[in-house]
Chains A and B, each alone.
Chain A
Amino acid sequence: MNLLEIDAGMIDWSRAQFALTAIYHWLFVPLTLGLALVMGIMETIYYRTGKEFWKQTAKFWQKLFGVNFAMGVATGLILEFEFGTNWSNYSWFVGDIFGAPLAIEGIVAFFMESTFVAVMFFGWKKVSKGFHLTATWLTGLGATISAWWILVANSWMQHPVGQEFNPETVRNEMVSFSDVALSPVAIDKFIHTVLSAWVLGAIFVAGVSAWYLLKKRHLNFARSSLKISAIVGFASSLLIAVSGDHSAYTVAQTQPMKLAAMEALYDGGNDQGLTIVAAVNPFAQPDYANEKEPGMKIAIPNLLSFLATHDFHGFVPGVNDIIRGYTKDDGTVELPLDEKIHRGQAAITALHNYRLGKQNGDETVMREEGAILKENMAYFGYGYIKDADQIVPYIPVCFYAFRIMVGGGCLFILLFALILFYLRKGKDILRPRWLLHAAFWCIPLAYIVSECGWLVAEFGRQPWTIQDMLPTWVGVSDLQSSSVVTTFFLFLILFTTLLIVEFNILRKQIKKGPDLGEE
């Protein structure tokens, strides 16, 4: 088969379908993780104080957790269908690496969550307070551990480690489980993602509580919930700023092109500033080869250098530096794209020859070609690159999604700080109605910010399904684009319907409110 036979539209539709499914799945996950923490804290207060009020408060948020949990359950499985159908080359190529984390995730999710979630919902009158509290925390822990393994798999695609390519099976095989499971990218991604989920959960609770306060309903309940959510949200959003700083450093070390795209940094250098705003055309890839930098750029001097290298004068490569090749601060050389392409082509040819040698039973050819393949495997994916433009992610999406994510994060810190300020003794939280309105409208904003985080992570690694190893147009199956378009719209209809159903159930439960007896 020749590349020309692969329908470019089909690649884009397959990507769009995967993105749609992942974005939809990600609507449920952060609220599950975030509400699990908030309701766990509330039930712990009930356990310690014995006050019925806290039991009913925890039960109300558990009910909303249940709605979200039920709607989100199994939505991630569709991604696995797509691996097998739309991304079969990719799935085969990574199978052994991906299999272990996903299998562990499946087992943990199934046994831990399904066991303890039942105790949590059915066990209020059946088990002791302590056992129920343990089940509540373990439900949240199970969901968080699930997230860990999914993020391990995702991180391996962003920064493949702990594997060796076997030309016999044409698969990457795990040689170090600990390298895969504890990769620095996985750790950073897990911490950043879980914290972001806690922030979203806290905003959801704060927003719903604010709505009750605006409606002057369930005031004690709303004040108490608002207080817990503001404490959780404020702490999480401060921690996420710290984890974001570390993530930026890791991205700079492992995926410099992603960082360059996030910053619209065309020509890098020492003493780089962090861009606050710049006039990047949102609808077209900029002419990075000829423009020096985006227009009307306002930056904080030297901050990007510090974030990327932990040195205010450190060297940060731009898009063009990465294409031309550059020397890092530690003296190591990043090869120019031409050289990477040359090595990648050598690796692909070696694999081809190895397979021919295998067919002919020629062990000498297999040994020699296997050695060439091993030497150049790190650049395998570059063998498919025809043009420098192909290795540059779509800059406008990376640039703006990053700024929405960071800007939203800063806004949430301010929101939680203000709520905590007004919740102090002597202040009336009902008075600053604008703050309650802001808290309520931050619910959709939190989802947008959360999804933008994924957009940065996933757009920023384009064109790679596996960084430096397999571009999208090689990982994709040779399907008819019409069939992918059909399933794309089927999903769109299904997901939209489910979302409307969930939204309506949530809305009804919120309008109904908590069962607080005579409050």
Chain B
Amino acid sequence: MKKAGFFTRAWDLYYDGFRQMTLGKTLWLVILIKLFIMFFVLRLLFFPNFLSTHSEKGQEAEFVSSEITNR
């Protein structure tokens, strides 16, 4: 029988691995919930990039120099 190629075997590894997961399913659920909270709740709502919201693009150096030389 002809041996499957590298990519086919790699696909099988992941496909069968994910299909046969038991505990892994719970862990992936926790990971996905965590990533959703981190990137779509915390990042978007609570952690804006301070510099990009307080200085114009390309003017960050001016903004930071003003901040650190006047404190």
A binds B: yes
Q: A residues bordering B, Cβ < 8 Å?
A: 1-3, 6, 63, 66-67, 70-71, 73-74, 77-78, 81-82, 84-86, 88-89, 91-93, 118-119, 121-123, 126-127, 167-171, 348-349, 351-352, 355, 384, 470, 473-474, 477-479, 483, 486-487, 490, 494, 498, 501, 505, 509
Contact between chains at A352 and B49 (CB < 8 Å):
no
Contact between chains at A1 and B64 (CB < 8 Å):
no
Which residues of chain B are within 8 angstroms of A501 by Cβ–Cβ distance?
30
Q: B residues bordering A, Cβ < 8 Å?
A: 9, 12-14, 16-18, 20, 23-24, 26-28, 30-31, 34-35, 37-38, 42-43, 46-51, 54, 60-62, 64-71
Contact between chains at A384 and B9 (CB < 8 Å):
no
Partner of B69, one of A352, A479, A509: A352
Alpha-carbon separation in the docked complex, A325 to B46 (Å): 44
Contact between chains at B65 and A170 (CB < 8 Å):
yes
Contact between chains at B47 and A487 (CB < 8 Å):
yes
Contact between chains at A85 and B48 (CB < 8 Å):
yes
Closest CB pairs A-B (n = 6): A122-B17, A88-B50, A70-B27, A81-B47, A352-B69, A477-B50
Contact between chains at B71 and A123 (CB < 8 Å):
no
Partner of B42, one of A170, A490, A505: A490
Partner of B49, one of A63, A84, A167, A509: A84
User: 14 A-B residue contacts at CB 8 Å?
Assistant: A73-B31, A81-B38, A82-B47, A92-B51, A118-B14, A118-B17, A121-B24, A126-B9, A351-B65, A478-B67, A479-B50, A483-B46, A490-B46, A505-B23
Which residues of chain B are within 8 angstroms of A474 by Cβ–Cβ distance?
67-68, 71
Partner of A89, one of B13, B46, B68: B68
Which residues of chain B are within 8 angstroms of A126 by Cβ–Cβ distance?
9, 12-13, 16
Instruction: For A494, give the chain B residue with the smallest CB separation.
Output: B37
Which residues of chain B are within 8 angstroms of A119 by Cβ–Cβ distance?
13
Instruction: For A355, give the chain B residue with the smallest CB separation.
Output: B65
Given contacts A66-B23, A77-B38, contact A6 B69 (CB under 8 A): no
Which residues of chain A are within 8 angstroms of B65 by Cβ–Cβ distance?
167, 170, 351-352, 355
Given contacts A1-B66, A1-B70, A351-B65, contact A71 B47 (CB under 8 A): no
Cβ of B62 to closest chain A Cβ, rounded Å: 7
Contact between chains at A70 and B64 (CB < 8 Å):
no
Which residues of chain B are within 8 angstroms of A490 by Cβ–Cβ distance?
42, 46
Which residues of chain B are within 8 angstroms of A71 by Cβ–Cβ distance?
27, 30
Contact between chains at A1 and B30 (CB < 8 Å):
no
Contact between chains at A70 and B31 (CB < 8 Å):
yes
Alpha-carbon separation in the docked complex, A168 to B60 (Å): 11
Which residues of chain A are within 8 angstroms of B66 by Cβ–Cβ distance?
1, 355
Contact between chains at A66 and B27 (CB < 8 Å):
yes
Which residues of chain A are within 8 angstroms of B46 by Cβ–Cβ distance?
85, 483, 486-487, 490
